[in-house]
Amino acid sequence: MVKTFDILIIGAGPAGLTAAIKLGETGLRIAVLEKDVFPREKICGDALSGKVMSVMKRMPEGIFSDFIANIDKTPSLGIRFTSPDMSYVDVPYVMARADGSGKTPPGMVEHAPGYICSRSRFDKFLYDKCREFKNISILENTIISKVSIDNGIVTAESVHNTYTGKMILGADGVHSVVRKSLTAYHENKNHTCLGIRAYYENVSGTHEKNFIELFFLKDLLPGYFWIFPMPGNRFNVGLGMLKSQVVERKINLSKALTKIITSHPQISERFKDAKLIGKFEAHPLPLGLQDEVRSGNHFILLGDAASLVDPFSGEGIGNAMASGEVAADIVKACFEQNRFDADFISQYDRRIYRRIMKDFSYSKIIQRLARSASLFNFVVRRASRNKGIQELLTSISTDERIKKKLTNPLFYLGLLFK
Ligand SMILES: Cc1cc2nc3c(=O)[nH]c(=O)nc-3n(C[C@H](O)[C@H](O)[C@H](O)COP(=O)(O)OP(=O)(O)OC[C@H]3O[C@@H](n4cnc5c(N)ncnc54)[C@H](O)[C@@H]3O)c2cc1C
């Protein structure tokens, strides 16, 4: 059976759902085609950064305040970086306020800079918001196996149906069928990280302000092991490593994670009374390390399907949502001006570069520097003793200039004298 819409969005993750919500008020007929059924799990660290909050604040009125008031989540106020020699430094997030006063202006929702919220809850929240628009149909249990474009018509096929439209958004994650069907993309193992995560109950020794904890252990560099506190004495625990290293060193991620939890001299102590909930699960993270085709005639790729994961931090949710927001703007312009050609749509790539990829150029260099255990030990040890460096690191997440500073060798030379 053929079903006709204006816009097809493949994948109901943060990227696809954000694009749909931002297009909701246009009245265009939108189909969100999703292989799973909500609520569904997504393998993730579950950490929502300030970028996620910013995108949600620009969604239709009431969505952000509803998230803050009603969704079960743990507020997070900063990051603890632990270096290979187990020195650590606490980096609180900067509380960014529109008026720079440090106070919440009247009418603005009071919120923490970041949260840890299970993806089954968070994605279901966005899904529910999407369902409030009559012109959006979310079709679950629909696996798209092939996409094609012919004579200005986009076609997506599932086992039982064919869906057509004028524009298609590929928000179908790292194994994107849209990307495979419409571009010549090939995975580069140096540009993919493999992550494995598990849920635990009762991990001890967490930070009093729920800082998320990143442990840059020697065998994982430039990847890391993490412990993120969640509501109900639960913890998201996992590790991420470059795929090229996993393949080259024949690493079994489950064994590597188990070894840290059960035998690492300091970390295993914290898991003495902990209990595993469910099982270990792994999934790739496509790092934004190269220029790729992200749009073309009648199509745009979003989120993981466009490799928009930060190469150093592994953050992908905020970038996925930001790409959904930008894509929605471009799609509106396509319909207003009746232009669906690659040339017109390429403004998407330019905006993604300015909003996301430009910042990655610093993450890329920091990721390369982070391969050295001794440099990591040195920076963290200095930072843990020096308030000035701590304040500098505090601004990393909000100030691009600080990231730039960290990529300059003179910064590290300067630390010798601090
Ligand atoms: C172990 C791990 C830990 C991570 N931790 C964090 C973290 O703490 N914070 C953070 O910001 N990021 C984290 N990330 C990255 C983050 O999970 C992704 O960047 C983010 O989910 C990307 O969102 P998306 O909407 O692009 O894709 P996804 O969330 O992957 O959504 C894609 C959707 O498309 C659907 N789909 C796929 N194929 C098809 C098909 N053929 N037909 C129909 N539907 C389809 C899927 O079911 C899914 O619902 C982590 C990733 C991993 C693997």
Pocket test for ligand 1, best of 35, 137, 161 (most atoms within 8 A of CB): 35
Q: Are 44 and 317 in contact (CB under 8 A)?
A: yes
Is the per-residue pLDDT at 160 higher than 80? yes
Q: What are the extents of the domains in the chain?
A: 2-75+111-186+290-363, 189-286, 375-415
Is the per-residue pLDDT at 76 higher than 50? yes
Nearest residue (by CA) to ligand 1, atom 5, is 45
The mean pLDDT of 126-140, rounded to a whole number, is: 98
Supply the pLDDT for residue 389: 66
Residue 272 structure tokens: 């003495």
Nearest residue (by CA) to ligand 1, atom 15, is 316
Rounded alpha-carbon distances, angstroms, from residue 318 to 52, 56, 61, 108, 303: 4, 10, 19, 20, 9
User: Each residue of 212-222: pLDDT tens digit?
Assistant: 999 999 989 88
What whole-number distance in Å separates Cα of residue 73 and Cα of residue 96?
20
- Give yes or no for residue 310 CB within 6 A of ligand 1: no
Confidence of residue 97 (pLDDT cuts 50, 70, 90): very low
- Give yes or no for residue 304 CB within 6 A of ligand 1: yes
**185 C-alpha to center of ligand 1: Å?**
18
What single-letter amino acid sits at 233? N
Nearest residue (by CA) to ligand 1, atom 26, is 303
- Give yes or no for residue 46 CB within 6 A of ligand 1: yes
Is the per-residue pLDDT at 357 higher than 80? yes
**100 C-alpha to center of ligand 1: Å?**
34
- 2-75+111-186+290-363 topology per CATH: FAD/NAD(P)-binding domain (3.50.50)
- Give yes or no for residue 381 CB within 6 A of ligand 1: no
Is the per-residue pLDDT at 105 higher than 70? no
Confidence of residue 9 (pLDDT cuts 50, 70, 90): very high
User: Each residue of 294-312: pLDDT tens digit?
Assistant: 999 999 999 999 999 999 8
Relative orientation angle of helices 63-70 and 50-57, to the nearest 10 degrees = 130
Atom of ligand 1 nearest to the CA of 49: 11
Is the per-residue pLDDT at 244 higher than 50? yes
What whole-number distance in Å separates Cα of residue 264 and Cα of residue 271?
10
Supply the pLDDT for residue 363: 73
Nearest residue (by CA) to ligand 1, atom 6, is 45
**320 C-alpha to center of ligand 1: Å?**
9
Nearest residue (by CA) to ligand 1, atom 51, is 44
**304 C-alpha to center of ligand 1: Å?**
6
Nearest residue (by CA) to ligand 1, atom 39, is 172
**173 C-alpha to center of ligand 1: Å?**
5
Supply the pLDDT for residue 95: 61
What is the second-level CATH architecture of the domain 189-286? 2-Layer Sandwich (3.30)
Is the per-residue pLDDT at 99 higher than 90? no
Supply the pLDDT for residue 100: 45
30-44, 95-109, 374-388: range with lowest mean pLDDT: 95-109
55-59, 396-400, 401-405: which is most confident: 55-59
Q: Are 153 and 164 in contact (CB under 8 A)?
A: yes
Pocket test for ligand 1, best of 127, 142, 172, 194 (most atoms within 8 A of CB): 172
**51 C-alpha to center of ligand 1: Å?**
16
Average pLDDT over the chain, rounded to whole?
90
